[in-house]
Amino acid sequence: MRFIRIASMGGDAPQAIDLGVRSPGKVIINNVGTTDLYMGQDRSDVLLAGTGQFLTLAAGVMIVFDVSEMVGYIGQRQMVWFNSPIGTGALEVAIFSES
């Protein structure tokens, strides 16, 4: 089990988090800030001047993923980039797995 908290994510300064798992489990991503966050596969995806290939995680929203080493986006893409395009964002991540 791992917990990651980024209490102060600066405006348009992307940060990568390793969400990789070695066994089946769950990943919980919680936007605890007051601004939307961008979530993408690559740093350039989440920049304001980037490619625009991202998922918007609205303020106050929590996403839960079922994951394993062979199934789904999170299992295949270990590094996920997050960005607060405007203002200061806050993010919490919990990774629960069998190993």
Phi, psi of 55 (to 5 degrees): -110, 130
**CB burial string 71-97: b at 16+ within 10 A, e below:** eeebbeeeebbbbbbeeebbbbbbbeb
Domain ranges of the chain: 2-97
Asked if the model's pLDDT at residue 85 lies above 90, the reply is no
pTM of full prediction above 0.85: no
What architecture is the 2-97 domain classified under in CATH? Sandwich (2.60)
Average pLDDT score over the chain: 85
Whether 73 shows a pLDDT value over 60: the answer reads: no
